[in-house]
C-alpha cells in the first residue's frame, strides 16, 4: 500500500495535538542520542529490510524529525512506524543517527496515547504481551499450534501433539515446561510485577487494550497479594 504523505487524511487533527505528540517524542531521554540532524543521503534506506517491501523509509523518519515537520511526523506516526523491523541496520548512518531508535520512541508515544493506529497494529498481539508480562518468558512452547503457524510446516502439528512428552525429553530440567520457555521462580515473577508497577507500564497497556489490562491486573494483583504486597494497578 502506498503511503499518503499529503497529510490530507489528518487535516482534521489539531496542529497543537500533533505538536504535543511530537514534543513527547523529543522529550524522551534517548532522543538526543538517536538524532544528530540528517544528511538525507539515504544510506539507511539501502540497509533497511522494510524499505524493500513496504512504502517505508528510515530517511523520511530522520529527515522529518530533523526538520521538525510536525504534520508529516503525525502522518508517519500513524501510517509508517509499524512497518519497521527494528533490526537497526539503519544504525549504519554516517550522521550517527538511529532511525530505528526514533521509531521505537514514536511507537511508545503512539501506544501511550492510545492512538487508533497503534491499537490496530497491536490487534492479535495481546497474547504475546500477556505472556511476557504475566509469566516472565515472552514466547512459550504451547504457542506452537498448527492454526497459529499454518505456514511453518507439518512439524508444528507434531510438536503440539507431543508437546508434553517432547518437553520432558529435554535434558535441561529447567526446560521441562510447556507454558513458559523455562521454569521461572515465583519470587522472580513477583519482582517482575513490581517493576511493571513502578514504571507505569500497565498504564500503557490500559491505553491500547483495556481487556488485556483487566486480565493482567487480576493475575498480578492476586499473586502480589498472596506474596504480601498491597499493590493496585488502577
Partner 1 sequence: MIPHSALFNKPKDRTFTPDPSQAPTEDYHDILDQLEKEGEWEVHRVPEPYIEVKNKFGRTKKVPVEQTWHHKSCGQCGHIPGYSTSVFWLNRKLGLDYNDPTDQTSCTAWNYYASATSNAPAQAAVAMRNFAAAHETGYFPIIHCATSFGHYKEVRQQLIHSPELRSQVRKILKKLGKKLIMPEEVVHYSEWVHVMRDRIAEHQVIPMDHIAATIHPACHYHKLVGEDAIYAPEVYGNQRSAIITSTLQSLGVDVRDYSTWFDCCGFGFRHILVSRDFSRSFAVQRKIEVMKEEADPDILITHDTGCVTTLDQSQFAAKAHDKNVGLPVMSDSQIAALAMGAHPYKVLQLHWHSTDSKPFLEKLGIDHEKAWAEFEQVVDEIKAGERQSVTWEEVDV
Binding site for ligand SF4 (CB under 6 A): 38-44, 47-50, 58-59, 62, 84-90, 93, 95, 97, 99-100, 103
- For residues 15 and 49, which CB has a smaller minimum distance to partner 1 in the complex? 49
Helix (H) or strand (E) holding 118: helix 116-121
Residue-by-residue DSSP string for 169-228: T-SSGGG--SSSSS---HHHHHHHHHHHHHHTHHHHHHHH-HHHHHHHHHHHHHHHHHTT
Task: Tell the smallest beta-carbon distance from residue 6 to partner 1 (Å).
Answer: 25
| Cβ proximity of 95 and 39 under 8 Å | yes
| Cβ proximity of 106 and 81 under 8 Å | yes
Quote the CA–CA distance of 86 and 98 in Å, as a whole number: 10
Query: What does 97 bind: ligand SF4, partner 1, none (CB cut-off 5 to 8 Å by kind)?
Result: ligand SF4
Among positions 207-226, residues that touch partner 1 (CB under 8 A) are 208
Which range in 9-17, 35-43, 67-75, 157-165 contacts partner 1 by CB under 8 A?
A: 157-165
| Cβ proximity of 54 and 64 under 8 Å | no
Quote the CA–CA distance of 73 and 77 in Å, as a whole number: 6
Query: What does 128 bind: ligand SF4, partner 1, none (CB cut-off 5 to 8 Å by kind)?
Result: partner 1
Among positions 5-34, residues that touch partner 1 (CB under 8 A) are 28-30, 33
Phi/psi of residue 201, nearest 5 degrees: -65, -35
137 binds partner 1 (CB under 8 A): yes
Applying CB under 8 A, the site for partner 1 has a residue count of: 81
193 binds partner 1 (CB under 8 A): no
Q: Which of 3, 128, 146, 215 binds partner 1 (CB under 8 A)?
A: 128
37 binds partner 1 (CB under 8 A): no
Return the C-alpha cell found at 154: 507439518
Which range in 17-25, 35-43, 107-115, 220-228 contacts partner 1 by CB under 8 A?
A: 107-115
138 binds partner 1 (CB under 8 A): yes
Amino acid at each position: 500500500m502506498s503511503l499518503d504523505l499529503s497529510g490530507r487524511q489528518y487535516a482534521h487533527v489539531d496542529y497543537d495535538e500533533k505538536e504535543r505528540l511530537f514534543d513527547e517524542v523529543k522529550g524522551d531521554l534517548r532522543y538526543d542520542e538517536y538524532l544528530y540532524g540528517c544528511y538525507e543521503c539515504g544510506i539507511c534506506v539501502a540497509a533497511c529490510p522494510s524499505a524493500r517491501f513496504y512504502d517505508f523509509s528510515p530517511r523520511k523518519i530522520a529527515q522529518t524529525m530533523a526538520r521538525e515537520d510536525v504534520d508529516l511526523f503525525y502522518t508517519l506516526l500513524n501510517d509508517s512506524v509499524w512497518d519497521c523491523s527494528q533490526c537497526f541496520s539503519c544504525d549504519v548512518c554516517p550522521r550517527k543517527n538511529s532511525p530505528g531508535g526514533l521509531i521505537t520512541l514514536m511507537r511508545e508515544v503512539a501506544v501511550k496515547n492510545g492512538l487508533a493506529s497503534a491499537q490496530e497494529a497491536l490487534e492479535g498481539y495481546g497474547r504475546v504481551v500477556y505472556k511476557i508480562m504475566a509469566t516472565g518468558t515472552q514466547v512459550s512452547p504451547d504457542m506452537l499450534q498448527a492454526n497459529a503457524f499454518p505456514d511453518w510446516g507439518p512439524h508444528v502439528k507434531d510438536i503440539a501433539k507431543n508437546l508434553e512428552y517432547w518437553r520432558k525429553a529435554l535434558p535441561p530440567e529447567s526446560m521441562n515446561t510447556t507454558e513458559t520457555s523455562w521454569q521461572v521462580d515465583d519470587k522472580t515473577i513477583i519482582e517482575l510485577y513490581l517493576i511493571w508497577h513502578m514504571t507505569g507500564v500497565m498504564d500503557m497497556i490500559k491505553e491500547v487494550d483495556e481487556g488485556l489490562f483487566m486480565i493482567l491486573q487480576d493475575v498480578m494483583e492476586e499473586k502480589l497479594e498472596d506474596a504480601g504486597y498491597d499493590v493496585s494497578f488502577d
